[in-house]
Amino acid sequence: MSEKHLQGQVALVTGGGKRIGRVIALTLGRAGADVVVNYHQSREGAQATVREIAALGVRAVALRADVARPSQVAAMFRTVEKCFGRLDLLVNNAGVFFPRKWDELEEKDWDDVLGANLKGPFFCAQAAARMMLRQGRGSIINISSLGGLQAWPSYIHYGASKAALISLTRSLAKALAPTIRVNSVAPGTILFPHEQRDATIRKIIRTTPLRKPGAAEDIAQMVLFLAIHGEFITGQVFSVDGGKSIP
């Protein structure tokens, strides 16, 4: 998919300054899209990503916004409309991930996770949908997680937020049809080149049918597929997990 299938389109990737979000943003840029790279704290990473995308010959900007704060989300989308005049693709990638034992979870842990992983995607989708409905088309892709499909006892709050994001995906798909498609990509274990395979990761790999971890590019390619070829796909969850979610 190296052709410029997304030329003339505008994409916004939340949490696009690092890790999976960065790879998604670069992949969309390579496909010809102008890209808005949202970030909260990763300013340097977002700016570096924007420079790489701009070098591909497309437009790219970095916009700071805490997606858990609706006022900041609204301001970000006003800037997108002012700068680009349209939005074709929203990738809700920003999220919070950390372990907690069930008896140590506090209210702030829930607020942090639900704010970034559920409230943020909703308000971003709400703002994006208003733009997309006016232009008559659009696509929203929510990055959920295998943790939203399986029970992870050390990540109860995280799993609940991602399960809710999957439910949000399906509800929005019906609410926004037929104009806007809404889907979700659920990554399994994703490793980056510099990361070590500790005992936990090695155990996960052994119990994954394909016997290997995924790469950020695997997630980005699924996002790209849905953006380009998903015209008859909405309300679906695509597990990119090496078969780990197979019952």
At 208, is the secondary structure helix, strand, or coil? coil
DSSP-derived secondary structure for 142-164: EE--GGGTS--GGGHHHHHHHHH
Cβ contact 26:246 at 8 Å: no
Partner residues linked to 138 by β-bridges: 180
Active site residue 39: no
Catalytic residue chosen out of the listed positions 84, 123, 158, 238? 158
Query: Nearest-CA neighbor of 190 among 142, 143, 155, 247?
Result: 143
DSSP-derived secondary structure for 56-94: TTS-EEEEE--TTSHHHHHHHHHHHHHHHS---EEEE--
Alpha-carbon distance values, 147 to 28, 42, 86, 144, 187 (Å): 26, 24, 33, 8, 9
Query: Nearest-CA neighbor of 141 among 63, 88, 191, 188?
Result: 88
What distance in Å separates the CA atoms of residue 146 and residue 238, rounded to the nearest whole number? Answer: 10
What distance in Å separates the CA atoms of residue 99 and residue 93, rounded to the nearest whole number? Answer: 19
What distance in Å separates the CA atoms of residue 97 and residue 84, rounded to the nearest whole number? Answer: 32
Residues labelled catalytic: 158
